[in-house]
């Protein structure tokens, strides 16, 4: 049997109507949404299915909403007896991967992402931030530019998404300056529609609070290995997982390294479990053309049925 990884998207994957087909089809998905709404006190079904997008994309709403859809897709797959061999999630998506790994309960996942969203929102109001995608330069090139500008204010690498797609984060003026320098070297730069400088020192004011909250959550030893954003490596026992998830708040997302690690582990089936195709798109840019694999998306009834049929 070929080794399979479940990958979960994070913020940026959302769209109005996400999760609706599975909600209409399955009682257990409706129960999942009911449970999530009870914990978060947010009408997630209305936001996911009807919007408006302005409300959905507020990070306090978006983090539980994306997680609800990720887990709806996951439980629909698992009800058919399909389990992954390894899992990972991009930034926010790592919390869905935590549940998939068996490290935390469904209820605790929603408590975690609700708290994370509230803290990030609070810090984004206190400290105005920005994020830009830089396309066409390597991580070493972007690191050099970031170091040049860091003396003037907060700026850092937020995501190492592919070999030549890096996201910067920090104070607006410094992020803009790095982008101007990158453009002068021939890179393309894209300002991202975000409300804060995620994965930067500008939200560090909430890191200790989130760490304390993590101490209230019960973590199991993982049943399925999870590759973490911070280390691009595995953490097995509960103390290790709790420590690495505390660091995730302000540390860069090492997605490129994480996907290369999945290659080293011999994964040949990749399934993006959740709305959109962001993670699958990044993966196609990371994997060599001659790497033997299949990439799937599972986010509605059609893609779920196609995936189950293919791997049967």
Active site residue 127: no
From the candidates 91, 96, 124, 179, which is the catalytic residue? 91
From the candidates 199, 228, 251, 258, which is the catalytic residue? 199
**What secondary structure, in 3-state letters, does the chain show?**
CCEEEEEECCCCCCCCCCCHHHHHHCHHHHHHHHHHHHHHCCCHHHHHHHCCHHHHCCHHHHHHHHHHHHHHHHHHHHCCCCCCCEEEECCCHHHHHHHHHCCCCHHHHHHHHHHHHHHHHHHHHHCCCEEEEEECCCHHHHHHHHHHHHHHCCEEEEEEEECCEEEEEECHHHHHHHHHHHHHCCCEEEECCCCCCCCCHHHHHHHHHHHHHHCCCCCCCCCCCEECCCCCCECCCHHHHHHHHHHCCCCCECHHHHHHHHHHCCEEEEEEECCCCHHHHHHHHHCCCCCCCEEEEECCHHHHHHHHHHHC
Active site residue 91: yes
**Catalytic residue positions?**
91, 199
């Amino acid at each position: 049997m070929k080794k399979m990884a479940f990958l979960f998207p994070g913020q940026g994957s959302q769209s109005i109507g996400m999760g609706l087909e599975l909600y209409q089809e399955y009682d257990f998905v409706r129960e999942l949404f009911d449970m999530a709404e009870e914990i978060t006190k947010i009408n997630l079904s209305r936001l996911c299915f009807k919007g408006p997008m302005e409300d959905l994309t507020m990070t306090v709403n978006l983090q539980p909403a994306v997680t609800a859809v990720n887990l709806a897709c996951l439980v629909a797959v698992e009800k058919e007896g399909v389990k992954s061999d390894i899992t990972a999630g991009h930034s926010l998506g790592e919390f869905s991967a935590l549940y998939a790994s068996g490290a935390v309960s469904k209820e605790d996942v929603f408590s975690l992402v609700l708290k994370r969203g509230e803290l990030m929102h609070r810090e984004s109001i206190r400290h105005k931030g920005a994020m830009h995608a830089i396309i066409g330069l390597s991580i070493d090139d972007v690191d050099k530019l970031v170091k040049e500008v860091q003396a003037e204010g907060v700026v850092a690498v937020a995501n190492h998404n592919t070999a030549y797609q890096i996201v910067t984060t920090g104070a607006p003026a410094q992020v803009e300056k790095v982008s101007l320098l990158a453009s002068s070297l021939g890179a393309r730069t894209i300002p991202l529609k975000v409300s804060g400088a995620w994965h930067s020192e500008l939200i560090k004011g909430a890191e200790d609070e989130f760490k304390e909250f993590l101490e209230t959550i019960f973590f199991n030893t993982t049943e399925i290995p999870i590759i973490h954003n911070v280390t691009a490596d595995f953490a097995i026992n509960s103390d290790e997982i709790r420590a690495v998830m505390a660091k995730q708040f302000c540390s860069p997302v090492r997605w490129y390294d994480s996907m290369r690690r999945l290659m080293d582990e011999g994964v040949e089936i990749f399934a993006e479990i959740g709305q959109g195709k962001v993670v699958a798109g990044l993966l196609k840019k990371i994997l060599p053309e001659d790497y033997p694999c299949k990439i799937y998306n599972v986010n509605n009834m059609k893609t779920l049925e196609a995936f189950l049929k293919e791997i049967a």
